[in-house]
Amino acid sequence: MQKGFTNIALIIILVLIAGGVGYYFAKQGTKEESSQVKQEEPKEVPTGPFIGSENYVPPPPLCTSSIAPWIKVLSPNGGETFQANGQVPVIWQSCNLPTPWVVVSLREQNGSDFLLTDPETIDDGNETFIPSSNISSGNYKIRVGHAAATIQQDLSDNFFSIQ
């Protein structure tokens, strides 16, 4: 009986030793794998109209019924280049205008305006125009204004070019 007990104890000890050795090597493999984990490359810092960038333009205020009317030209807002006879998309936001109409015009560097839309253009936030032959190559800004008042208006922040 004692011989059987000794054999069982010996088997248990061998199993424990084998398990311990297996555990040790498994841990070593995990350490090596963890040291070989692919490190993330530094992420590229985004550029564009973000806070802190030179092109950052803060968003217009939220439109609530308690604030004064406003218009904000979003695009083109400066630095873009468009081709003569090509499309120029104009995008703006507005709030609390007294009527639902705006006027979109093209302003030259010298301050002259070319009317691009009918004075009763619906204030839907976008309009596309094609520079005609009477508009020469140069630098311009977009002006979006309320059709009945010059108070609610906005210009592109910087000049864009038509070539």
Kindly list the structural domains of the chain, giving each domain's residue range(s) and its CATH number in brackets, ordered by start: 70-162 (2.60.40.10)
Give the pLDDT confidence of 121-150 residue by residue, as tens digits: 899 999 998 887 778 899 999 999 987 766
CA dihedral 44, 48, 52, 56 (to 10 degrees): -170
At 36, list the tokens. 């070989």
Of all helices (H) and strands (E), which one includes residue 15?
helix 2-35
Give the pLDDT confidence of 62-90 residue by residue, as tens digits: 788 888 899 999 999 999 999 988 899 99
Greater model confidence, 26 or 153: 153
pTM: 0.61
Give the pLDDT confidence of 12-56 residue by residue, as tens digits: 776 667 666 666 666 666 555 555 555 555 545 444 455 555 655
